[in-house]
Structures are given as structure tokens and as C-alpha cells.
Amino acid sequence: MAKGRFAPAWDQERIQRVLTHYETQSGDEARAEDETSPPQSVESAPSAAGRPRGEQMTREVGWGAIKAKLKGFNASELVTLVRDLYQASPANRQFLRGRLLHSPADLERYRRQVTDAVFPDPFSSKPVRVGEAERLIRHYRLSTGDESGAVDLMLAMVEAGTEQAVDLGYANEAYFASLERVLESVVGALPSVPEFARPTILERLRQLAKRAESTGWGYGDAVREITMAAISPRAERRPSRRARRS
């Protein structure tokens, strides 16, 4: 590996650890990390005036500093800011449409994206992106406030991941641990789903448990145990495979 490929103090191993951290991070963990992040120090480059190398500049980051700045904006400035955010990226446009012009088409659009992230076309060169699927679900929930739709997306993510494991034999410990964690969130969030929609979710959970039976790594057993809490609430549930390992 050629010298100078990475920034000082960084190497391939450290980069991989950072990628793994964010790939497996839950939604609650991501929000907590953002809220508690301290101000960042950035080393400045030498200036033309010969500022000593190593001089530090402190830059405030996080929602607190942004919120303080926004309080000084008038209505026109806020509209301009939102317009610029809308134009900045497709993800921003999708978020604003969900927040201000929510429709059933939004949920279907997110469902396709979540499924594609977890179970991409096997003939494409796309990698499996569990972290991206979870990011999309957080994005949908924040944008629309639709908790029932978020449960639908979480279940769609686990269904797609299970389908890939069964059809293609795709499997590793971190992958299954992420699917189990999201499935536990589905079961835990069922009370937030309107009663008329629960039978459909329960039937999907039954089909998921059957589909996962043939998978390895103890995943099929874990799915059965987790879904049992919703399908048969009176059944005694053992700790999930992930919890038993820790």
C-alpha cells in the first residue's frame, strides 16, 4: 500500500472499524451520538501570513448551535433556507415532501429503497447496506411522523434480509444480529400500530418465521422466539440469541 493514501493516524483497519460502527448503529444510538457530540477541533492549514502550524480552530457542531442561529431568522429567510435545502439533494426533497405533502406513495417509495438496500439485485454490483436501510427508516419516521409506516418499513427490511439469506445463502453474524434487532423493534412497536392494521402485521410475522426456518447461524430460531411474543403473547419467551451471547 502506497504511503500517503490515508490521512495521518488513519489506516485501513481504523477506517474499517468506523464503517462497521455506523453500519450496525441503531436509530437510537445514532440520535444519541449526534446530540452528545462535543465541539470539534480542526487543525488549520498554514496561512499566507505565516500562522503557526498546529494552531487550533474550534467549530461548534450539532443541533444546539444550529437552533440558536435559526432563532434569528425571519419568515422570508426560513423559506429561503428550506428552498436551498430542498434543492441540495434528492434525500432532502424526499424528506420535505414527506413532512409537508405526505401521501401513501411516500411509504411505497421508501419500501422499495429499504428493500433494495438490504437485498440488492444479485446481478448488480451493489453491496448489501443494512445501515442505509436503517437510515432510510429513521428518515421516514422523522419526515412523516407515521409510526405505523415505520413499523411496516422495519418489517419489510427484515423480510428482505431473510429472503436474501434463504435464496442466496447470504449470512454473517453482524447481518443476522442487525435483522434480529430490527425485528425486536417491530414487535415492541406493535402497540403503536392501529388495531385494524395489526392482523396484517401478525400474518407477515407468521410467514417470516416460517421462511426463516431453513436459515443457519441460529437465525431461524431467533426469529421464531422474537415473533412468538407477538403471535402468541402468553408464550414464555427466552432471551434472543443476540442477548444470550452478550
The 3 state secondary structure assigned to the chain is CCCCCCCCCCCHHHHHHHHHHHHCCCHHHHHHHHHHCCCEEEECCCCCCCCCCCCEEEECCCHHHHHHHHCCCCHHHHHHHHHHHHHHCHHHHHHHHHHHCCCHHHHHHHHHHHHHHHCCCCCCCCCCCHHHHHHHHHHHHHHHCCHHHHHHHHHHHHHHHHHHHHHHCCCCHHHHHHHHHHHHHHHHHHHHCCHHHHHHHHHHHHHHHHHHHHCCCCHHHHHHHHHHHHHCCCCCCCCCHHHHHC
Look at residue 13 in the predicted model and tell me its pLDDT. 65
Query: Above 80 in pLDDT, residue 7?
Result: no
Strand partners, 43: 56
Pairwise CA distance, residues 18 & 105, whole Å: 34
pLDDT in tens, 135-191: 999 999 999 999 999 999 999 999 999 999 999 998 889 999 999 999 999 999 999
Query: Above 80 in pLDDT, residue 238?
Result: no
For CATH 1.25.40, the residue range(s) in the chain are 102-246
Which has more pLDDT, 39 or 25?
25
- State the average pLDDT over residues 120-125: 92
pLDDT in tens, 26-40: 555 655 555 555 544
What is the rounded average pLDDT for all residues in the chain?
80
Pairwise CA distance, residues 31 & 10, whole Å: 25
Query: Above 70 in pLDDT, residue 245?
Result: no
- State the average pLDDT over residues 113-129: 94
pLDDT band at residue 61 using 50, 70 and 90 as cut-offs: low
Which has more pLDDT, 25 or 153?
153
Q: Which CATH class is domain 102-246?
A: mainly alpha
Look at residue 46 in the predicted model and tell me its pLDDT. 46
pLDDT in tens, 194-224: 999 999 999 999 999 999 999 988 999 999 9
Query: Above 50 in pLDDT, residue 74?
Result: yes
Look at residue 47 in the predicted model and tell me its pLDDT. 45
| Highest mean pLDDT: which range of 21-25, 40-44, 58-62, 139-143 | 139-143
